[in-house]
């Protein structure tokens, strides 16, 4: 299975997002965060993520006669190589994109089906923009956005901060 296929599965993307800030979590802690994912399903996905090198077991803690694994995301563990992207067929890319969208739809569905939501107060936004850019201008814009997002990702959680998902899709219009 290609690394992109492994990463872009909706459940596995949620596991990766849970560990993206350098967190170390046990399967039980991940289960508490991903309450809608059956335990057996979570374990199956954790195994696949570890086998593929996307996640690693940081330590094993003895717990009632068994070893409880603590998972972490190694540096560049969730990155897809340029080579893999170049070798993927158009159908592969469509599958990758559809998996990405399925994950996004699932996250939005979990948000929208809460008992009480306020889209304006919560700052919910989805928009599509068009801009005329050279290749260099487009890369600079993406690097600038990346720098802003990386800075925000360094924020520590507290009672005033709410975890937010930001998804960016950029491609030339035909």
Per-residue pLDDT tens digits of the chain, which is 174 residues long: 688 889 989 899 999 989 987 889 999 999 999 999 999 999 999 999 999 999 999 999 998 888 999 999 998 888 888 888 899 999 989 988 998 898 899 889 989 999 999 999 999 999 999 999 999 999 999 999 999 998 998 898 899 999 898 898 989 988
Dist. CA 57–CA 24, nearest whole Å? 9
Q: Which pLDDT score, from 0 to 100, does residue 124 have?
A: 93
Which DSSP category does 130 fall into?
-
Burial of 92 (0-12, 13-18, 19+ CB in 10 A): middle
Give the C-alpha separation, 78 to 16, whole Å: 8
Residue-level pLDDT at 1 = 67
End-to-end CA distance of the chain: 31
Q: Could you tell me if 84 and 2 are in contact, meaning their C-beta atoms sit under 8 angstroms apart? A: yes
| Residue 87 C-alpha from the chain's centroid | 22
The pLDDT score that the predictor gives to residue 149 is 92
The candidate with the shortest Cα–Cα distance to 18, out of 8, 33, 5, 7, is 33
Q: How far apart, in whole angstroms, are the C-alpha atoms of residue 41 and residue 47?
A: 10
Pull the structure tokens for residue 166: 């930001």
**Whose CA is closest to 85, among 168, 8, 156?**
8
How many CB atoms neighbour CB 28 within 10 A? 11
Could you tell me the pTM of the whole model?
Answer: 0.74
């Amino acid at each position: 299975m290609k690394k992109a296929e492994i990463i872009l599965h909706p459940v596995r993307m949620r596991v990766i997002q849970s560990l993206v800030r350098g967190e170390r979590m046990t399967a039980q802690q991940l289960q508490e965060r991903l309450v809608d994912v059956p335990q057996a399903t979570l374990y199956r996905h954790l195994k696949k993520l570890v086998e593929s090198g996307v996640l690693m077991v940081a330590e094993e803690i003895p717990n009632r006669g068994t070893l409880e694994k603590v998972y972490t995301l190694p540096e560049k563990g969730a990155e897809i190589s340029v080579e893999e992207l170049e070798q993927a067929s158009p159908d592969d890319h469509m599958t990758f994109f559809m998996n990405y969208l399925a994950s996004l739809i699932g996250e939005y569905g979990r948000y929208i089906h809460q008992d009480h939501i306020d889209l304006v107060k919560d700052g919910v936004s989805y928009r599509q923009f068009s801009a005329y850019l050279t290749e260099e201008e487009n890369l600079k814009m993406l690097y600038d956005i990346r720098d802003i997002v990386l800075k925000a990702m360094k924020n520590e959680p507290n009672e005033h901060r709410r975890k937010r998902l930001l998804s960016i899709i950029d491609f030339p219009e035909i």
